[in-house]
Structure 1
Amino acid sequence: MVRRKGTAPRSKSFDKKTDAEKWARDLEAEVDRCGFLPDTKLAEDTTLADIMTRYREEVTPRKRGAKIEVFRINAMLRHDIMHRTLALLSSSDIAAYRDERLQSVGPAAVVREIATISQAIDTAMKDWNIYLVRNPAKLVRRPSLPRGRDRRLEGDEEQRILAACDRGRIRWLKPMVVLAVETSMRRGEMLSLRWSDIDLDRRVAHLSMTKNGSSRDVPLSTRAVETLSGLMQQPDRDPEKVFMVSENAVRLAWDRLRNRIGLENINFHDLRHEGVSRLFEKGLDVMEVSAISGHKTLTMLKRYTHLRAEDLALRLG
């Protein structure tokens, strides 16, 4: 039992005396720090599964990536750590969860899962009146992420890809490939394009919503303008959207195309890497490239930029 003048006494039972003494020391230290005896009953009665479920229902739907996060949380709820109450949840528990998950999924997936746990605990502490001394997820070391992909188009690969598009039956795939390289737009950004977003006279495409949650205007090269003009002149084009296809349809069409021409090691997203790298090779500076590509930080922009040493040597003279 912990008693302090001016506050209601707090008590809790333990199987071991050492656990009771640790609880009392931590509680008294917190009283000294904040000047009052915090109510830890909610944290003692609430499990990690409780707050993850509430977070999924109340917070996740407001996010742009809600579907993916719902799927992630549902999978996480099947693990034993979710039965731990918040009062007993420690950084070692989350570290053990991290090590267990690394046996079956990659480091990037584990980083996202720990980040989701951390966000849910932060929300519980700030908005749901659940008292914790600290967020244990913030004390856990994240696994190191692998190096970003550095795949670029080499030799005649671009010509082979475009020729395969011409031989195929899917008319929208070649324009998407060209626009990905010329504008550095993401696949989802191209699929969200409407004709009302495009001004061919000004040579600008407006993206009202992007992956990082902000809008931007993308300048169009001569080749991009020609591609969009060709799409606009098609008699059977959709009156509103530039590409009336789903992201899954693009993925499947790309997989079939690259398998036909023997380029299994290149992803559609690598075309964005290629586009960003070409912008630097044209002499644009960091601010100009980030304005086109939409990258918020130099760190992320560097991950998407892969300049060839031989090209840099030519610029050195």
Structure 2
Amino acid sequence: MARHEDLRGQVAIVTGASSGVGWQSAVRLAEAGVRLCVTARRRFALEQLRAEVLRRGGECLVCEGDVTAQEDVERVVRECVARYGRVDLLVNAAAVQSYGPFEQLPWEHITRVFDVACFGYLRFARAVLPRFREQGHGHLLNVQSMLASGSAPLLSAYSAAKHATLGWAQSLEMELAGTGIHVSNVMVPSVSTPMFDHAPTLLDRQPVPVPPTYDVDLVARAVVRLAKRPGRTSVPAFLQGRLMLWLNGLAPSVGKAVLGRFGARMQTTDTPLARREGNLFSPVAQGVGPRGSVPPTPAWLRFTATLGLAALAGGVLGGAALGARGVARAVR
């Protein structure tokens, strides 16, 4: 495993930097001494981010662009190299969602989600990999989702896109073994980003993340840790992270039962909302900065939920063990 504990002077491109994880990751990387090239569709938001980075003593180049446009991707990389002479780190963080039952989602919503949340990562990786090979080093750091290892109702396109993105990243890691180019992934739980304030929905109600919700800075700090020690997959949350992975391995029926019965209700409020397009195809004015309207779940409530989920899992596993013993006795 490579170690780059001192990030000062390194150059990073951060996609999806106008809000959420991209924004906050850029800020934390700048605090660690990384020189930034930030990109997204909203230049006015990127200029606000640049002002924040400069205020903290960092260096930041703004390059407006769309991850679905090949010419934009290539231009961002060229401008970054022209400014700094190289690029050491790519943080793939651009993403969009669309809420609705699969059979009701417009096909163009499904393909657009893939084009941003999956193919956008691939486009930028293909654009920077030749630079990395010339330098003999580089780091692809992908902001993934816990949905890449799971699922949720109403988010079938996004879940599928993140499954594909994680599979690509894991394959690429094998291909790049021994080249000096590293691949890392951070598995993101529900976080307090503005994504839910500008995501399209067919439900006519305000969408919200599956609880519990974590502060976006949890992921940004994980990005910095991975930048220092590349080549890993980080799961920074416990309840909606490591515990869920463990439960899915031991008792997958628990998560399916909960989300299958309550998932739609958990992801919507009673607030009426007509937003069929959101920011899917065109940028919107709202939702600038690291955090959105949904606050993080208090730590004490996350702890209570952890105990409840552990008890539920224990009951399921205990019941399964009793059932297995009963079957064994019947067979004998």
- TM-score normalised to structure 1 length: 0.20
Greater relative CO, 1 or 2 (CA 8 Å, sep 6+)? 2
- TM-score normalised to structure 2 length: 0.20
Q: Name the structure where strand makes up a greater proportion of residues.
A: 2
Q: Name the structure where helix makes up a greater proportion of residues.
A: 1
Q: Which has the larger radius of gyration?
A: 1
